[in-house]
Amino acid sequence: MNFEALRQVLRPNLGHVCVITALALVVIGLQAIDTAPTPSWYGNITLKQAIFSGVALAVMLMVAMPHPKVVAHASFGLGLVTLALLALLLAPGTPESIIPRINGAKRWINFPGLQFQPSEMAKIVFVLALARYLRYRENYRRMRGLIPPLVITFVPMGLILVEPDLGTSLIFLPVLFAMLLAAGAKIKHLLLIIVLGLSLMPMMYPLLKPHQKARIVSMISQVRGDTRLRNTTGFQSYKAITTAGAGEVVGYGKERAEVILRYNALPEAHNDMVFAVICARWGLIGGMMVLGLYLLLIASMLAVAGLNKDPFSRLVVVGLTTIIFTQVMVNVGMTVGLLPITGMTLPLISYGGSSLVATFVMIGLVLGAASRRPMIMSRPSFEFTTAGSS
């Protein structure tokens, strides 16, 4: 046991603000999961989630202990392992017992006693690998230098896209841009790539699966106030908006919210749609409070990056922050009817062990970075001073 590392981690630092904020969100999540109607055979999922939280905290501490240098050292190796696992998912002829096909998608690997999604791991490892690649370079300040980071992004992203898991694969792009931005890439380059990418988006539309197109169509019709798709492809979104809006300012309170949610049959209320449960129970105040806590979490994580001097840790924290931010945006966005429905959990609140553990792994990494005092001799990183070219 590395007591020195543990002592460092437990010594008061900015990372603890992140942990406390995260725990507050977990507690809110437990309450919300308790409110969400679930079939009886799910069992007591609130208790399960509480146990997962304990496990996740332990994992967080374990992740926080290794020095960032060690993590940086291992990141390329981890990257290769992750790529191998992602490739394994897609390999033909794998037995169903190990790689089950659920709803037509191969996303899970069954190990004895544990089922996990390599894509959850891939998000984090991608951040580590990209941070390692970018940490001592500055060629990404030229257009051509942006190509390797794009390649590093597109390989795992493509593999996840093929699973298929569109929602997770789309997280990679904001993370890449946020990290490049933080690392000092030229904004005009980044904007150019974004504009190019956006202009290619309509061409991607025909490649979407029918159910994905249907979700986009139903979202657009929903925004337009067209009610025809409410009972078909727009059902989930309609119910989410209705139950969230029904909470009005102060919410229904627990008992009434339970009744409303049960009879409105909000799908995935404990999981992807948990934000609607929060709004139904605590109303606008609850929803705003949760959004505020996320903002606090994000801000404190960015502050950790800002106080840190180690270039690898800086970029890792920025990347992880962006992952959490993107998940919140997508999840809440789809719940309130601004984005099409895709399977994306609300980090720290949605029911589910792997999501919770993955998020606490990220917070663990942030905590690890925040716990280390800067080395005396460290050179300030990513401080390019060429005037007028930020």
Partner 1 sequence: MFHRRLLLLLVLFACAMGVLGAQLVRLTIVQGQEHRREAEQVLSSRTLVETVRGPIIDRKGRVLAEDRPCYDIAVDYPVITGQWAYDQARRIAYRDYKSSWAKLSFDQRETLIQEYRPPFDQTLERLWSLMVEYGNIDRSELERRKQTVIKRVQTIRSDVWDRRAKRRAAEQGGPVELDQVAVKVAEEVDEHTLLPAVVDSVAYNFRKLIDELPGLHVIRAKTRQYPQRSMAVKLDRAALPTPLKSDEPVTIDVQNVGAHLIGSMRDAWAEDEQQRPFHRRGTDPDLGGYLPGDRVGLGGVEAAEEDRLRGLRGELVRRKDTGQVTRTESAPGEAVQLTIDIALQARVRAIMDPEFGLMRVQSWHGNSGMPLGTPLYGAAIVMDVDSGHVMAMVSTPVPPSRIEGEPYPDLTKDPDGPLMNKPVASVYPPGSTVKPIVYCMAAATGNIGADQAVDCEGHLLEGKPNLYRCWGWRPAQGKYLRHGPLSPQEAIARSCNIYFYTCGRNMGARTIVEQFHHWGFGKAIGLGLPEEVDGFLPQLEGGNIEGRELSLPNAIMMGIGQGPIAVPPIQVATAHAALARGGYYLTPLLIRNRAAQQDGHELGMSPHVIDNALQGMRMSANESFGTANHLTLETGREPLLNLPGVIVRGKTGTAQAPVQFKDLNENGQLDADEPIQRDGEHSWFVCHVQKPGELRASFVIVVMVEYGGSGGRVSGPVANQILHALRDEGYL
Kindly list the residues in this chain that would bind partner 1 in the complex (CB under 8 A): 178, 181-182, 184, 241-249, 259-260, 263-265, 279-280, 283-284, 287-288, 291, 294-295, 298-299, 302, 305-306, 314, 318, 321-322, 325, 328-329, 332-333, 336-338, 380-385, 390
Output the smallest distance, CB 87 to partner 1, in A.
32
Is the C-alpha dihedral spanning 368, 369, 371, 373 positive or negative? positive
Cβ closest to partner 1, residue 157 vs residue 257: 257
For residues 188 and 335, the answer to whether their CB atoms sit within 8 Å is no
Element of type H or E holding 374: none
- When the beta carbons of 150 and 181 are compared against partner 1, the nearer one is 181
Half-sphere exposure in the Cβ direction for 46 (13 Å, CA): 13
Separation between Cα atoms, residue 130 and residue 181, nearest integer Å: 13
Smallest separation, CB 328 to partner 1 (Å): 7
* Closest CB 149 distance from partner 1, rounded Å: 16
Q: Do residues 346 and 327 lie in contact, with contact meaning Cβ atoms separated by under 8 Å? A: yes
Provide, rounded to whole angstroms, the least separation between the CB of residue 188 and partner 1. Answer: 14
Distances (CA, A) of 106 to 116, 159, 201, 332: 11, 11, 25, 26
Residue among 156 and 283 whose Cβ is closer to partner 1:
283
Could you give the angle at which helices 3-10 and 45-64 cross, rounded to 10 degrees?
110
Q: Where are the beta strands (DSSP E) in the chain?
A: 109-111, 114-116
Give the count of beta carbons closer than 10 Å to the beta carbon of residue 345. Answer: 23
Toward partner 1, which CB reaches closer, 167 or 287?
A: 287
Residue closer to partner 1, measured from CB, 85 or 179: 179
Q: Read off the amino acid at residue 225.
A: G
Which residue reads 């080395």 in tokens?
375
Smallest distance from partner 1 to CB 171, Å: 14
Least distance (Å) between residue 97 CB and partner 1: 30
CA distances from 380 to 131, 139, 306, 308, 315 (A): 16, 17, 11, 10, 13
Taking the least distance from each CB to partner 1, the nearer of 14 and 241 is: 241
CA-to-CA distance for 261 and 240, rounded, in angstroms? 10
**DSSP element (H, E) containing 184:** none
Structure-block tokens of residue 48: 């399960």
Judged by beta carbon, residue 115 or residue 390, the one nearer partner 1 is 390
Instruction: Closer to partner 1 by CB, 78 or 173: give it.
Output: 173
Minimum separation from the CB atom of position 92 to partner 1 (A): 28
CB of 157 to partner 1, least distance (A): 21
Report yes or no: 167 and 330 within 8 Å, Cβ to Cβ. Answer: yes
- Number of Cβ within a 10 Å radius of residue 340: 20
Q: How far apart are CA 325 and CA 322, in angstroms?
A: 5
Helix, strand and coil percent figures for the chain, each rounded to 5: 70, 0, 30
Q: Between 2 and 390, name the residue whose CB sits nearer to partner 1.
A: 390
- Least distance between partner 1 and beta carbon 289 (Å): 11
- Least separation in angstroms between CB 324 and partner 1: 10
Nearest to partner 1 of 57, 179 (CB atom):
179
